[in-house]
Amino acid sequence: MTHDPELERRVDRALKQLPAPSAPPALLSNIMRAVAAGDSSAVARAPLAAEWPVALKVALSFIGASIVVAALLLWPLALDAARSIWYAPGIVLLRSVVSTARPLVPVALIYVTAMCVVCAAAASMLKHVALGGATNL
């Protein structure tokens, strides 16, 4: 990338001509009042996990490890159970319903994606209206 001093000067002049951003009038006084009062809610706190007692951390680690070991030990039993119920009448009916509905999956994905986009757009519009963005039109 090349360095263009003329471009840098023009950008610098343009940025210096912009008005300074303004904050709400009460912002500074609210911050100073909170600092003077020693309000700890304005101070960043350590993550919640850092405040947990060591015994609780050890217990949760043990429970997580136990779940993993149990899953590994019970996996062969789960496979045997799945093989034995694979041809049960209810499972056969469920498999046929799923195979019938499979062509509808792309349509459902398109519908869900469209609804997500519509919800995001509506949330964006509401945010601008609620925060006074409509007055800036």
pTM for the full predicted model: 0.33
Least confident of 74-88, 94-108, 109-123: 74-88
Contact call for residues 85 and 91 (beta carbons, < 8 A): yes
User: Which one has a higher pLDDT value, 117 or 85?
Assistant: 117
Q: Which residues of 61-82 are buried (b: 16+ CB within 10 A; e: fewer)?
A: eeeeeeeeeeeeeeeeeeeeee
Specify the DSSP element, H or E, that contains 132: none
Minimum mean pLDDT range among 44-53, 77-86, 97-106: 44-53
Q: Over the stretch 3-44, which tens digit does the pLDDT of each residue have? A: 788 888 998 898 888 887 777 878 878 888 877 777 555 455
Which one-letter amino acid corresponds to residue 6? E
Mean pLDDT of all residues belonging to the chain: 82
Provide the Cα torsion 22, 26, 31, 36; round to 10°. 140
DSSP character string of 82-93: HHHHTTSHHHHH
* pLDDT 10s digits, 104-128: 999 999 999 999 999 999 888 887 7
Distance between CA atoms of residues 53 and 30, nearest Å = 35
| Predicted local confidence at residue 47, as pLDDT | 60
Domain ranges of the chain: 88-137
